Chain A
Amino acid sequence: MSELVNGRGLSLVPKSDAKQTMKDYKSDQEVRWCPGCGDYAILAAVQSFVPELGLKRENMVFVSGIGCSSRFPYYMNTYGFHSIHGRAPAIATGLAASRPDLSVWVITGDGDSLSIGGNHLIHALRRNVNLNILLFNNRIYGLTKGQYSPTSEVGKITKSTPMGSLDKPFNPISLALGAEASFVARTIDSDRKHLQSVLREAAEHNGTSLVEIYQNCNIFNDGAFDQLKDPEQRDDITLRLEHGQPIVSASKAVRRAADGGIEVVERASVREEEILVHDAHRADPSLAFALSRLDEPAFEHVPIGIFRSVDRPSYDELMATQLEEAVAQSGPGDLDNLLLAGDTWRIG
């Protein structure tokens, strides 16, 4: 990176002098999600976590698209922009690219980010704009009252698919890794501790961080993630991804398979040194991609945590550097000189 940039990412966002609490981040607006919605837990987790960052509240912006989750910015006592369906990453890109002093968060859902806004999502990820994208995945359309979404399982019976949905779902983690996102993580609404630890890493990451949050819609898709919450099963299903640690659940372990891929096996059946150790900073995203495929086709085992966190320059710092370089090379722009550049002639 050029030495012209004075710091990067979160270090460019001014810090608050005063100590902050969760209350500072609650807006005066009444929260209007359905009672029991997973969004409440995520909102509370975010509101109680952001004071830790110690940023000036006025330098935080929450941008959203359309959908239940996209109401989120109204409830944060920061700057907020509730935009239009699918376009939040595009709007946030313009904001973040032109204001490196802001901490910009995108709140989106599976329909908003993976259907109508899929294009903007993958391009934000490849550019590595300084954004934190929280993708609330409830695998259903809630605000339009219960149609299947691009993350719904095949055969989903909904109002628009009475005989079952036909299209294969996206795996948001696989998609993000395919776009070579520099930070990709998954967490779950019901595990506040894990959710907040992932958010912290996401906030501090330079560039785009994509956090998929499994979120229960108790009205149209209740129980979609019950296995992951059920005390009987969850420890066996959940493969915790922690950098430098073996990838295991209570009873399962991940190891390299004979065919070159990876596989989940009974933990008791393998020697400790055979178990794959998670490397979130691996430059090549293909192993992270392989991990993202482990939860297919059903929730037999689900990796949770940070799949990938690699350092590469963010789009906004590269853009700022070009501007600084242009000035360094030939001085700041002068309008009169610009208009008179090239062939001119004088009359009179």
Chain B
Amino acid sequence: MTKQVQQLDRVIIRFAGDSGDGMQLTGDRFTAGTAEFGNDLSTLPNFPAEIRAPAGTLPGVSSFQLHFADHDILTPGDAPNVLVAMNPAALKANLGDLPRGADIIANTDEFTKRNLQKVGYDANPLEDGSLAEWRVHPVPLTSLTVKALEDFDLSKKDAERSKNMFALGLLSWLYHRPTEATISFLETKFAKKPDIAKANIAAFTAGWNYGETTESFSVSYEVKPAQLPPGVYRNISGNQALAYGLIAASVQSKLPLFLGSYPITPASDILHELSRHKRFGIRTFQAEDEIAGVGAALGASFGGALGVTTTSGPGVALKAETVGLAVTTELPLIVVDVQRAGPSTGMPTKTEQTDLLMAMFGRNGESPLPVVAAMSPSDCFDAAVEAARLAVKYRTPVMLLSDGYLANGSEPWKVPSAAELPDISVPFATEPNDGEAFLPFKRDPETLARPWAVPGTAGLEHRIGGIEKADGTGNISYDPDNHDRMVRLRQAKIDGIAKDIPALEVDDPDGDARVLVLGWGSTYGPIAAAVRRIRKSGGKVAQAHLRHLNPLPANTGEVLKSYDKVLLPEINLGQLALLLRARFLVDIISYNRVRGLPFKAEELAGVIQDVIDSE
């Protein structure tokens, strides 16, 4: 039987199963095959905070969504075209996101009476007609896998564990994905257990062959490679890109990287990644707590290292006092906040943009610092290099904001060569700067940065600390006018960075839009996708996205005032809107949702259209 092949321009697949079913791995492997094939792609993992929630329950459902296309795409997609449901819980948890007409591949073996009851199904939805508006493909994934592996010396339970590879094989057939990379991945991953490697490969192949032969799938699909700018690409997640950005910053600043960190979701992967690269002279210190993590990083900065601490919101709260110390001692420090849903513990695996005001103001006293935000998974690389550039050039702590969506999401990344990266090195002070004397707080007239004199430098011995310092000498001072001057100098130093960052660029193809959509951080993808939709249907809308939240690009006010309406979607209750309203007296229109999930393009397109229509 020759099966029909249909061409598609894009597909959104969601793999969903129990958190022990290996859905993240399945998604990762499908992504690797898709990247290798040359599609543009974007991914969104979604998993419970519990490592192993009770099997078969709704809280235990883990999923991985992948959007791939023959053109460049901006988000992991709003709604899946295909749901792979490994059990009834996975079906129930995800059905609401599935548009009518979408395909459902369900593992019928798991639709037992007991499993159905666990999630509140009275009858089997695969059989009672309730899914009539979707295209259901019932596949006994577990028993087919066990059957495919009957020649292996495996227990039934062990054989069943390969069912995710069977599903991957089936999906790889369905979407014409290359198989070599997955096979070699399995060989490498299970190099020490060749039997397990063979079993997984057999399950993967059986899944592929099943697609080829079964009548349940009469059509397979092709999504042609995307036309992306020439270059070498790799797929990269936000946390990995951020870690690589920090390594690049260490190389480009010629400073050894010192990471002081305490494990916290969703930032821990940066610690894991950096700890693997000791060849670069990177010291990673898993501290006893968040405070020690930032303290050690600051101590290392005092000694001439590129001091970094990585955390999420609750950790930033704990680090606040030390960050204030870095502000007043004017030492370089990078504080990475991979934001998650708060307050307090909140929802550790869910995303939010709710730490902006904490990043800006969450310290005692007037304690300004630069705030830089990444806008896509791969952009975490550039954002990290930029944060490091500002930290070392201006001798200041910098807040680098990522979030759970960027951290775990992935996309293809055109890999830069080291030669393209900026040189961000700065000289240490080596000589007295005031006749025979060394004044640790005598500033560079241009940047207002103080000299960075590291221990071991003869003749520049000096003391710094958290007590207010006399301008120039750095000696303890309680003089009222000196304090007023130092408060203003520290502010002026940060404000002055506006001269050293790019202007806010506006994307307004025809130049006649009256509505501007502004964003910051991880909302870039959904906003840009929504803007495309509006333009495709003939609407006019301009888009701008802020990388620097503090200081803002010098032209920000001018940009905001040149549009009739400014719409600002944020995954918080309007934190950037509050800052912009206060600063520029512009009547920002906020759109806020705080559901722990990224915006959807369709949702934002509707909001933008409403604002345009209200003109």
The stretch that binds B, out of A34-42, A55-63, A181-189, A260-268, is A55-63
**A347 at the A/B interface (Cβ < 8 Å)?**
yes
The stretch that binds B, out of A216-224, A240-248, A318-326, is A318-326
**B251 at the A/B interface (Cβ < 8 Å)?**
yes
Residue interface mask A90-126, B partner, CB < 8 A = 1: 1111111111011000000000000000011001000
In the assembled complex, the CB of B317 is this many whole angstroms from the nearest CB of chain A, namely 15
Residue interface mask B4-24, A partner, CB < 8 A = 1: 000000000000000000000
Residue interface mask B303-326, A partner, CB < 8 A = 1: 111010000000000000110110
Which residues of B have CB within 8 Å of A348? 229-231
Which residues of A have CB within 8 Å of B325? 83-84
Complex contact B299–A59 (CB within 8 A): no
**A335 at the A/B interface (Cβ < 8 Å)?**
yes
Which residues of B have CB within 8 Å of A97? 258, 283, 285, 296, 300
Interface residue ranges of A334-348 to B (CB < 8 Å): 335-336, 338-340, 342-348
Complex contact B298–A344 (CB within 8 A): no
Q: Please pick, from B38, B307, B322, B456, the residue contacting A99 in the complex, using a CB distance under 8 A.
A: B456
Complex contact A92–B299 (CB within 8 A): yes
Complex contact B232–A340 (CB within 8 A): yes
Once A58-B456, A123-B288, A346-B232 are accepted as A-B contacts, the answer to whether A79 and B299 lie under 8 Å apart by CB is no
Which residues of A have CB within 8 Å of B296? 90-91, 93-94, 97
- The CA of A120 and the CA of B465, in the complex, are separated in Å by 19
Which residues of A have CB within 8 Å of B283? 97-98, 319, 323
B interface secondary structure, majority:
mixed
Of listed A74, A90, A92, A102, residue having the most chain B CB within 10 A: A90
Complex contact A95–B466 (CB within 8 A): no
Interface residue ranges of B181-235 to A (CB < 8 Å): 181, 228-235
Q: Please pick, from B234, B291, B463, the residue contacting A340 in the complex, using a CB distance under 8 A.
A: B234
In the assembled complex, the CB of A244 is this many whole angstroms from the nearest CB of chain B, namely 36
The stretch that binds A, out of B144-152, B167-175, B412-420, B496-504, is B412-420
Complex contact A94–B260 (CB within 8 A): yes
Complex contact A98–B305 (CB within 8 A): yes
In the assembled complex, the CB of A18 is this many whole angstroms from the nearest CB of chain B, namely 11
Q: Which B residue sits closest to A14, measured CB to CB? A: B456
Which residues of B have CB within 8 Å of A79? 455, 461-463
Which residues of B have CB within 8 Å of A319? 283, 285
- The CA of A79 and the CA of B299, in the complex, are separated in Å by 12
**A327 at the A/B interface (Cβ < 8 Å)?**
yes
Q: Please pick, from B279, B299, B304, B467, the residue contacting A330 in the complex, using a CB distance under 8 A.
A: B279
- The CA of A99 and the CA of B256, in the complex, are separated in Å by 11
Interface residue ranges of B224-267 to A (CB < 8 Å): 228-235, 244, 247-248, 251, 256, 258, 260
Once A74-B463, A79-B455 are accepted as A-B contacts, the answer to whether A94 and B232 lie under 8 Å apart by CB is no
Q: Please pick, from B291, B303, B322, B461, the residue contacting A102 in the complex, using a CB distance under 8 A.
A: B303
Q: Which A residue sits closest to B415, measured CB to CB? A: A339
- The CA of A63 and the CA of B465, in the complex, are separated in Å by 9
Interface residue ranges of B407-466 to A (CB < 8 Å): 415-418, 421, 455-466
- The CA of A299 and the CA of B460, in the complex, are separated in Å by 45
- The CA of A330 and the CA of B461, in the complex, are separated in Å by 38
In the assembled complex, the CB of B385 is this many whole angstroms from the nearest CB of chain A, namely 11
Of listed B298, B303, B457, residue having the most chain A CB within 10 A: B303
In the assembled complex, the CB of A159 is this many whole angstroms from the nearest CB of chain B, namely 24
Complex contact B460–A58 (CB within 8 A): yes
**A148 at the A/B interface (Cβ < 8 Å)?**
no
- The CA of A346 and the CA of B230, in the complex, are separated in Å by 7
Once A79-B463, A332-B279 are accepted as A-B contacts, the answer to whether A99 and B415 lie under 8 Å apart by CB is no
- The CA of A202 and the CA of B220, in the complex, are separated in Å by 74
Q: Please pick, from A90, A96, A343, the residue contacting B234 in the complex, using a CB distance under 8 A.
A: A343
Complex contact A340–B415 (CB within 8 A): yes
- The CA of A78 and the CA of B418, in the complex, are separated in Å by 38
Q: Which A residue sits closest to B466, measured CB to CB? A: A84
Complex contact A59–B455 (CB within 8 A): yes
- The CA of A25 and the CA of B134, in the complex, are separated in Å by 81
**A142 at the A/B interface (Cβ < 8 Å)?**
no
Which residues of A have CB within 8 Å of B295? 83, 87, 90-91, 93-94, 120
Complex contact B418–A73 (CB within 8 A): no
Q: Please pick, from B234, B258, B288, B461, the residue contacting A344 in the complex, using a CB distance under 8 A.
A: B234
Complex contact A99–B247 (CB within 8 A): no
Which residues of B have CB within 8 Å of A338? 244, 247, 277, 280
Q: Please pick, from A99, A333, A345, the residue contacting B279 in the complex, using a CB distance under 8 A.
A: A333
- The CA of A248 and the CA of B108, in the complex, are separated in Å by 81
**B281 at the A/B interface (Cβ < 8 Å)?**
yes
Q: Which A residue sits closest to B287, measured CB to CB? A: A90
Complex contact B465–A82 (CB within 8 A): yes
Complex contact B303–A91 (CB within 8 A): no
Which residues of A have CB within 8 Å of B279? 323, 326-327, 330-333
Complex contact B233–A87 (CB within 8 A): no
Complex contact A347–B231 (CB within 8 A): yes
Of listed B278, B287, B463, residue having the most chain A CB within 10 A: B463
**A81 at the A/B interface (Cβ < 8 Å)?**
yes
Which residues of B have CB within 8 Å of A336? 417-418
Which residues of A have CB within 8 Å of B459? 58
In the assembled complex, the CB of A67 is this many whole angstroms from the nearest CB of chain B, namely 12
Q: Please pick, from A58, A98, A120, A322, the residue contacting B457 in the complex, using a CB distance under 8 A.
A: A58
Which residues of A have CB within 8 Å of B83? none
**A178 at the A/B interface (Cβ < 8 Å)?**
no
Complex contact A80–B462 (CB within 8 A): yes
- The CA of A342 and the CA of B233, in the complex, are separated in Å by 11
Which residues of A have CB within 8 Å of B256? 98
**B475 at the A/B interface (Cβ < 8 Å)?**
yes
In the assembled complex, the CB of A65 is this many whole angstroms from the nearest CB of chain B, namely 10
Of listed B283, B302, B324, residue having the most chain A CB within 10 A: B302
Q: Please pick, from B300, B321, B476, the residue contacting A94 in the complex, using a CB distance under 8 A.
A: B300
**A29 at the A/B interface (Cβ < 8 Å)?**
yes
- The CA of A123 and the CA of B260, in the complex, are separated in Å by 14
**A27 at the A/B interface (Cβ < 8 Å)?**
yes
**B84 at the A/B interface (Cβ < 8 Å)?**
no
Q: Which A residue sits closest to B233, measured CB to CB? A: A345
Q: Which A residue sits closest to B241, measured CB to CB? A: A339
**B85 at the A/B interface (Cβ < 8 Å)?**
no
Q: Please pick, from B281, B299, B417, B458, the residue contacting A81 in the complex, using a CB distance under 8 A.
A: B299
Which residues of B have CB within 8 Å of A61? 455
- The CA of A99 and the CA of B321, in the complex, are separated in Å by 24
Complex contact A123–B233 (CB within 8 A): no
Which residues of B have CB within 8 Å of A323? 278-279, 281-283
Interface residue ranges of B510-552 to A (CB < 8 Å): none
**B384 at the A/B interface (Cβ < 8 Å)?**
no
Complex contact A90–B291 (CB within 8 A): yes
- The CA of A77 and the CA of B461, in the complex, are separated in Å by 7
- The CA of A79 and the CA of B464, in the complex, are separated in Å by 8
In the assembled complex, the CB of A286 is this many whole angstroms from the nearest CB of chain B, namely 24
**B471 at the A/B interface (Cβ < 8 Å)?**
no
- The CA of A322 and the CA of B281, in the complex, are separated in Å by 10
**B66 at the A/B interface (Cβ < 8 Å)?**
no
In the assembled complex, the CB of A238 is this many whole angstroms from the nearest CB of chain B, namely 35
Which residues of B have CB within 8 Å of A339? 234, 244, 248, 415-416, 418
Can you list 21 A-B contacts (CB < 8 A)?
Answer: A57-B458, A58-B456, A58-B457, A63-B299, A77-B461, A81-B465, A94-B297, A94-B305, A95-B302, A95-B455, A123-B292, A319-B283, A322-B278, A331-B279, A333-B280, A335-B248, A339-B415, A343-B36, A345-B35, A346-B231, A347-B229
Which residues of A are interface residues toward B (Cβ below 8 A)? 14, 27, 29, 56-61, 63, 66, 73-74, 76-84, 87, 90-99, 101-102, 119-120, 123, 319, 322-323, 325-327, 330-333, 335-336, 338-340, 342-348
A58-B461, A79-B455, A87-B295 given. 7 additional CB < 8 A pairs?
Answer: A82-B463, A94-B297, A97-B296, A319-B283, A339-B416, A340-B234, A347-B233
Which residues of B are interface residues toward A (Cβ below 8 A)? 32, 35-36, 38, 181, 228-235, 244, 247-248, 251, 256, 258, 260, 277-283, 285, 287-289, 291-292, 295-305, 307, 321-322, 324-325, 329, 415-418, 421, 455-467, 475-476
